[in-house]
Amino acid sequence: MREIEGGICAPGGFRAGGIWCGIKAGSRKRDLALIYADRPCAAAAVFTTNRVKAAPVLVSREHLAGGILRAVIANSGNANACTGEAGLAAARRMAELAAGEFAISPREVAVASTGVIGAPLPIAAIESGISSLADSIRPGPAGHEAALEAIMTTDTRKKAAALELEIGGATARLGGMVKGSGMIHPSMATMLCFLTTDAAISRELLDRALRRAVRRSFNRVTVDGDTSTNDTVIIMANGEAGNPPIEAEGPDYGLFAEALEALCVKLARALARDGEGATRLVTVRVRGAADEGAAELLARAVASSSLVKAACFGADANWGRVLCAMGYAGADFDPAVVALRFAGAGGEVLVCESGAPVPFSEEEARRVLSGEEIEIRVDLAGGGPGAADAWGCDLSYDYVRINGDYRS
């Protein structure tokens, strides 16, 4: 498995583009993106668990029921959420517009939106720009970069990755891009994630691999405890790699699922690192839990704790907050066997053993916690085989500043 360049356009047979069409007043950033596959693709998706679902989520879920996609059209600047029947009509119109440019069925087009909730989508702007959008698509980095910029909102970093591996004697590639910075919490996050692969794989196994990857990546990311109305992860597989089609679980499926999970973990970490107002990426690593599910609950509770996040911002080794968060996680564990360590580029500091304090240097702990990436390592001594990581960020003053006037 090797990291490569190119993002969503790294796999063969995919093109992408992005333009500005004026969806958000006062902005000149690209705001309309398109990903197009030269041939029909097996497709799978995972959407938000929020009961309030945006119009594009409802429309894309309908279209993904057929298991085949050719394109994804996405906009930033407006979430098209809580917009009633007019919002549903606008989402369907977006699919129709993209389909019309390539003479394909609207049901082969997925739709995604991100931005302000509760505002009508200016569909006229998309209608005016659709021809330019279709003309903008390119293979390779140029197309990928334009599409990635077009889906960003409060993101401060471009988040993308691609991998290459050998499957069945053929070279297959996977690529992805993701946007998201705030309103991020399992399951999933305020995120749009688009994944492509030229591997040949059945729709059923593609769906299985995606759900496993999402559970171990995006469902373990938290920035602020809010789960969005628009969360969408879509993957398309066109088979251009020429590998023997993966139609049953076995070594080839295992390799593909492992690569997809690695790609999604990389993107999930990038989401947490770019949390609104964040100054530090925080990884919570739990080992020795009864099983993976218990470890995940514990890790997510710690990463989600506002008090833990605030302590990380202040580089304060307030480890009692970690143990407190574990206590309300809903997982069974013995507090008397917990060991806690803070780790980072500055080293590692043991702060708690057997559920009780141990002497440590506050100065050394502050140095460790002052790095851009820190780890909270939880060891349940003598526990079971359960292990899981969760990713979050610190909670800074800038988070309130950004969200205090988001609509303006």
Domain count, the chain: 2
| Residues 154 and 268 both lie in one domain | yes
| Residues 296 and 260 both lie in one domain | no
- Which one-letter amino acid corresponds to residue 223? V
Burial class (CB in 10 A: 0-12, 13-18, 19+), 360: middle
| Residues 211 and 300 both lie in one domain | no
Question: Sign (positive/negative) of CA torsion 285, 288, 289, 292?
Answer: positive
Q: How many CB atoms lie within 10 A of CB 249?
A: 12
Which of 251, 273, 295 terminates a domain? The answer is: 273
| Residues 317 and 173 both lie in one domain | no
| Residues 134 and 32 both lie in one domain | yes
| Residues 69 and 108 both lie in one domain | yes
- Domain enclosing residue 25, as ranges: 2-273
386-397 in b/e form (b: 16+ CB < 10 A) is: bbbbbbbbbbbe
Token readout for 12 is 């063969």
Cα–chain center distance at 39: 26
CATH number at residue 371: 3.10.20.340
Catalytic residues: 190
| Residues 261 and 366 both lie in one domain | no
User: pTM of this prediction?
Assistant: 0.87
Q: Determine the 3-state secondary structure of 296 from DSSP.
A: helix
CATH number at residue 179: 3.60.70.12
- Residue 368 CA to residue 375 CA, distance in Å, equals 9
- On whether the CB atoms of residues 170 and 94 are closer than 8 A, the answer is no
DSSP H/E element including 71: strand 68-78
| Residues 9 and 107 both lie in one domain | yes
Question: pLDDT per position in the chain (408 positions), as tens?
Answer: 999 999 999 999 999 999 999 998 788 899 999 999 999 999 999 998 888 899 999 999 999 999 999 999 999 999 999 999 999 999 999 999 999 999 999 999 999 999 889 999 999 999 999 999 999 999 999 999 999 999 998 788 899 999 999 999 999 999 999 987 655 555 544 479 999 999 999 999 999 999 999 999 998 887 666 566 788 999 999 999 999 999 999 999 999 999 999 999 999 888 888 777 788 999 999 999 999 999 999 999 999 899 999 999 999 999 999 999 999 999 999 999 999 999 999 899 999 999 999 999 999 999 999 999 999 999 998 779 999 999 988 888 887 777 676 554
Which of 252, 273, 294 terminates a domain? The answer is: 273
Which of 273, 301, 332 terminates a domain? The answer is: 273
Name the one residue in this structure whose structure tokens are 């980072």: 344
